[in-house]
Amino acid sequence: MPPAQPHRPSAPPRPKIIPSLRRLMPFLRPVLPRFIGGVITALVAAVVALLIPVALRWLVDGPLTSGDQALIWIGGVAILLLGLTEAVFVFLRRLFVTLPSTAVEATMRQTLYAKLQRLPIAFHDRWQSGQLLSRAVGDLGMMRRFFAFGAVIFITNLLTLIIGLGILLVWSPLLGALFILTSIPIVVIAFRFEQSYHQVARRAQDQQGDLATAVEQSVHGIRVLKAFGRGQTALAGFEQQAEALRSTELTKARSEAMLWMWLTIIPFVSYAVCLVVGIWQVAEGQLSVGELVGFLSTAVVLNWPIESLGFLFAFAIDAANASVRLFEVLDAEEDIVDPAEPTTIVAPKGRLVLEDVHFRYQDAPEDERDLVDGATLAIEPGETMALVGVTGSGKTTLTALPGRLYDVTAGRVTLDGVDVRDLTLEELRTHVAMAFEDATLFSASVRDNVLMGAREKSDAVLDRALEVAQATFVRDLPEGLETTIGEEGMSLSGGQRQRLALARAVAADPAVLVLDDPLSALDVETEALVEDALRHVLASTTALIVAHRPSTVQLADRVALMRDGRIDDVGTHSELLARNEHYVHVIASLEEAQRDRQDLEQVATGAFQAIDASVMDARTGGEEER
Ligand SMILES: Nc1ncnc2c1ncn2[C@@H]1O[C@H](COP(=O)(O)OP(=O)(O)OP(=O)(O)O)[C@@H](O)[C@H]1O
């Protein structure tokens, strides 16, 4: 089944920084007192820093002019103490904000993960995994750093600037006004920076997501890449993407460097203008030396708040973008949800009925007919129904509807007469269990993987499920049932993974078992054994099985033939063979595919035997020679 081409959402319009960050308020609220504590301590540190010039001014105009040694010492110690106090408050600020910012990040991450679990498969069909990964890791980390450091410093530095400029104006209205006037270009430059930086910053974040997708896909598909010798091509593609990201990051850095440069130059120009005018005022007797020293040292203290505004501004834009990217996921519609007033089925019998069911994928062209176009089918309790049809006829899609992986677009699916949309998802999925051709296993023990959906997590359930799925090979793994099977069960063969996925569906002991070609990777012998064991389980379970092999069809009590989005005919295998030409054609093509597969298996077995024999020959020959 070819998956829909994943894409990332197109870049939204430029977000406004404050509203974007304000959306994070629900996450911040629990830690707001500590955050405010952080701002207050940072502000105290800044005010203490501003007091140092006040002490200097007093020292120059007072004790230094009068030559009072004792007072000079007191002044020196006071300045030292002020410096120490500033350091203590900077430390306290870190203490206040580090803990809550990590807590905020953890809560946001949990919320995002929970949302991803709730979002329908249709959402995951559309979104690249790397885009989700980069949001869960990169963007959330960015927001944590902004709240732990950027936001506090931003607020503090702004307040420090306001207080400092106030002091400058009070001490010398002329010099203060000159300082402010010569700093005005900063506002214009910052405004222009904000306009250009947003787009490039967002592009970098999206490109990071693309890169994560590329890594994820190549790691996931490493076998295919190696088998087809496509490693170099993949690398070339990856290098191109990495280069694109590097170029965007460089544009970002250039933009930041330009802002930083102006934020460094402009205060120095202001400083120089004030110095010249100040010296002239001292010469004219309009200002004391102490007042000029105090003024200039305050201006120096303000240097950092002004300079830092550049990267803090960039930081705020990055965090606002990260917030927008986070809410693109958090705001995504959850259209497969629990009903407002759920019904419950106490003892399900397992009668599964599709009533004039229609379904189309969201991205299907409008002029195309529905993929499932009025399918009607009734499966009686305990009955096994095979679903056959030509490739691409929509069999896999149809099997996703009873468990609500997708919702029907018209018609309904009922279980014991109850519309599946009237049950909670949790209840529905205890009644309907699924196993797919593409068997996904999780990085967990065999036991946890198999008992994942089981109501009763006992050894007896586990043993029976493994028995039915012919998966007792797991007992021979290094740590038996406790062996952790690698990411997606990669350390197991395709057939072994399928058997474990089947065991998982059997262990769930559902009323309805939906199997989408779950035996495709098994050799003929094992398949026959699994089918034999399945027959016993299926005797009491309603089953809908997508069949790609004639032998799977034989398992079924009846067969439903899918054609043009509808159930074309239903009957026993022999009934359909006798009356339905299309069925004869489908079965003939399944048999042909089966023969091809068996031929391939025989060739492979022959080849392996020949290799074994030559290895043996080489060994015995070697021993004889010795
Ligand atoms: N997630 C999806 N988004 C969009 N289109 C999809 C999606 N999954 C499948 N399709 C399309 O729906 C059609 C039917 O696919 P489906 O896998 O249901 O058929 P199938 O009968 O099971 O095929 P096969 O026998 O080859 O497994 C195909 O054209 C496929 O490209």
Site residues for ligand 1, CB cut-off 6 Å: 1-4, 125, 361, 363, 371, 389, 391-397
Clarify whether residues 391 and 326 are in a common domain: no
Clarify whether residues 234 and 128 are in a common domain: yes
The Cα 409–Cα 355 span in angstroms is 12
pLDDT average, residue stretch 256-266: 86
Residue whose CA is at the smallest distance from ligand 1 atom 23: 392
CA of 389, closest atom in ligand 1: 21
Characterise 440 by phi-psi region: left (phi > 0), alpha (psi -120 to 50), beta (else): beta
CA of 562, closest atom in ligand 1: 21
- What is the pLDDT at residue 112? 94
CATH number of the structural domain spanning residue 457 = 3.40.50.300
Q: How far is the CA of 379 from the centre of ligand 1 (A)?
A: 23
Q: How far is the CA of 405 from the centre of ligand 1 (A)?
A: 14
pLDDT average, residue stretch 38-46: 86
Q: Does residue 88 sit within a domain? A: yes
Q: Does residue 357 sit within a domain? A: yes
Burial label, 67 (beta-carbon count in 10 A; 0-12, 13-18, 19+)? exposed
Query: With bands split at pLDDT 50, 70 and 90, how would you rate the model's confidence at 536?
Result: confident
Clarify whether residues 360 and 237 are in a common domain: no
The Cα 556–Cα 577 span in angstroms is 14
Q: How far is the CA of 160 from the centre of ligand 1 (A)?
A: 62
Per-residue model confidence as pLDDT tens digits over 436-449: 777 788 888 889 98
* pLDDT reading at 453 higher than 90: no
Rounded to the nearest 10 degrees, the angle between the axes of helix 173-183 and helix 151-171 is: 140
- What is the pLDDT at residue 609? 61
* pLDDT reading at 621 higher than 70: no
CA of 393, closest atom in ligand 1: 21
Clarify whether residues 37 and 146 are in a common domain: yes
Clarify whether residues 447 and 497 are in a common domain: yes
pTM to 2 decimal places: 0.72
Residue whose CA is at the smallest distance from ligand 1 atom 3: 4
The Cα 297–Cα 356 span in angstroms is 82
Residue whose CA is at the smallest distance from ligand 1 atom 31: 2
pLDDT average, residue stretch 82-90: 90
- What is the pLDDT at residue 402? 95
Q: How far is the CA of 368 from the centre of ligand 1 (A)?
A: 14
Query: With bands split at pLDDT 50, 70 and 90, how would you rate the model's confidence at 604?
Result: low
Query: With bands split at pLDDT 50, 70 and 90, how would you rate the model's confidence at 13?
Result: low
CA of 397, closest atom in ligand 1: 18
- What is the pLDDT at residue 618? 56
Q: How far is the CA of 124 from the centre of ligand 1 (A)?
A: 15
Query: With bands split at pLDDT 50, 70 and 90, how would you rate the model's confidence at 2?
Result: very low
The complex's ipTM? 0.95
CA of 122, closest atom in ligand 1: 1
Q: How far is the CA of 2 from the centre of ligand 1 (A)?
A: 6
The Cα 224–Cα 227 span in angstroms is 5
Q: How far is the CA of 228 from the centre of ligand 1 (A)?
A: 25
Clarify whether residues 325 and 361 are in a common domain: no
Q: What is the dihedral of CA 32, 143, 317, 12, to 10 degrees?
A: -110
Of 549, 564, 580, the position where a domain reaches its end is 580
- What is the pLDDT at residue 531? 76
Contact by Cβ (8 Å): 131, 209: yes
Q: Of 38-42, 491-495, 570-574, which range is least confident? A: 491-495
- What is the pLDDT at residue 613? 63
Contact by Cβ (8 Å): 332, 94: no
- What is the pLDDT at residue 485? 82
* pLDDT reading at 260 higher than 90: no
Q: How far is the CA of 394 from the centre of ligand 1 (A)?
A: 6
Clarify whether residues 271 and 156 are in a common domain: yes
- What is the pLDDT at residue 625? 46
Q: How far is the CA of 4 from the centre of ligand 1 (A)?
A: 9
Query: How many Cβ atoms are within 10 Å of 24's Cβ, its own excluded?
Result: 20
Q: How far is the CA of 391 from the centre of ligand 1 (A)?
A: 8
Q: Does residue 13 sit within a domain? A: no
* pLDDT reading at 543 higher than 80: yes
Q: Does residue 602 sit within a domain? A: no
Residue 241 structural domain: 19-330
- What is the pLDDT at residue 597? 66
The Cα 288–Cα 281 span in angstroms is 8
- What is the pLDDT at residue 622? 46
Q: Does residue 502 sit within a domain? A: yes
Residue whose CA is at the smallest distance from ligand 1 atom 16: 394
The Cα 618–Cα 487 span in angstroms is 37
Per-residue model confidence as pLDDT tens digits over 101-149: 888 889 999 999 999 999 988 888 888 888 898 899 889 998 988 888 8
- What is the pLDDT at residue 329? 93
Tell which one of 391, 396, 434 to mutate to probe ligand 1, the residue whose CB is within 8 A of the most ligand atoms: 396
Residue type, 611: I
Residue whose CA is at the smallest distance from ligand 1 atom 29: 392
Query: With bands split at pLDDT 50, 70 and 90, how would you rate the model's confidence at 561?
Result: very high
- What is the pLDDT at residue 607? 61
Query: With bands split at pLDDT 50, 70 and 90, how would you rate the model's confidence at 620?
Result: low
* pLDDT reading at 3 higher than 70: no
* pLDDT reading at 1 higher than 50: no
- What is the pLDDT at residue 18? 82
Q: How far is the CA of 396 from the centre of ligand 1 (A)?
A: 7
Clarify whether residues 220 and 287 are in a common domain: yes
* pLDDT reading at 30 higher than 70: yes
Q: How far is the CA of 259 from the centre of ligand 1 (A)?
A: 52
* pLDDT reading at 58 higher than 50: yes
CA of 399, closest atom in ligand 1: 18
CA of 394, closest atom in ligand 1: 18
More confident residue, 4 or 331: 331
Of 544, 561, 580, the position where a domain reaches its end is 580
* pLDDT reading at 626 higher than 50: no
More confident residue, 125 or 623: 125
pLDDT average, residue stretch 488-498: 73
- What is the pLDDT at residue 4? 39
Q: How far is the CA of 121 from the centre of ligand 1 (A)?
A: 14
* pLDDT reading at 220 higher than 80: no
* pLDDT reading at 6 higher than 70: no
Percentage of residues in the chain having pLDDT higher than 70: 92
Burial label, 411 (beta-carbon count in 10 A; 0-12, 13-18, 19+)? middle
Cα three-residue angle 183-272-78, rounded to 5 degrees: 95
pLDDT average, residue stretch 505-527: 81
Domain count across the chain: 2
Per-residue model confidence as pLDDT tens digits over 378-395: 999 989 899 999 988 899
CA of 1, closest atom in ligand 1: 17
Tell which one of 397, 398, 409 to mutate to probe ligand 1, the residue whose CB is within 8 A of the most ligand atoms: 397
- What is the pLDDT at residue 605? 61
Query: With bands split at pLDDT 50, 70 and 90, how would you rate the model's confidence at 343?
Result: very high
Burial label, 588 (beta-carbon count in 10 A; 0-12, 13-18, 19+)? exposed
Q: Of 187-191, 226-230, 237-241, 244-248, which range is least confident? A: 226-230
Cα three-residue angle 214-1-378, rounded to 5 degrees: 145
Q: Does residue 398 sit within a domain? A: yes
CA of 2, closest atom in ligand 1: 31
Clarify whether residues 312 and 357 are in a common domain: no
> Edge to edge, what strands does the sheet with 410-415 contain?
372-379, 352-359, 410-415, 418-419
Clarify whether residues 45 and 123 are in a common domain: yes
**What SS3 class is residue 359?**
strand
Q: Does residue 610 sit within a domain? A: no
Smallest Cα–Cα separation from 222: which of 235, 211, 212, 209? 235
Residues 6+ apart with CB under 8 A from 109: 136, 140
CATH number of the structural domain spanning residue 65 = 1.20.1560.10
Tell which one of 1, 407, 515 to mutate to probe ligand 1, the residue whose CB is within 8 A of the most ligand atoms: 1
pLDDT average, residue stretch 563-587: 92
For the chain, give the number of residues.
Answer: 626
* pLDDT reading at 551 higher than 60: yes
Q: Does residue 5 sit within a domain? A: no
Clarify whether residues 323 and 271 are in a common domain: yes
Clarify whether residues 290 and 366 are in a common domain: no
Smallest Cα–Cα separation from 135: which of 71, 214, 80, 213? 213
Of 330, 363, 378, the position where a domain reaches its end is 330
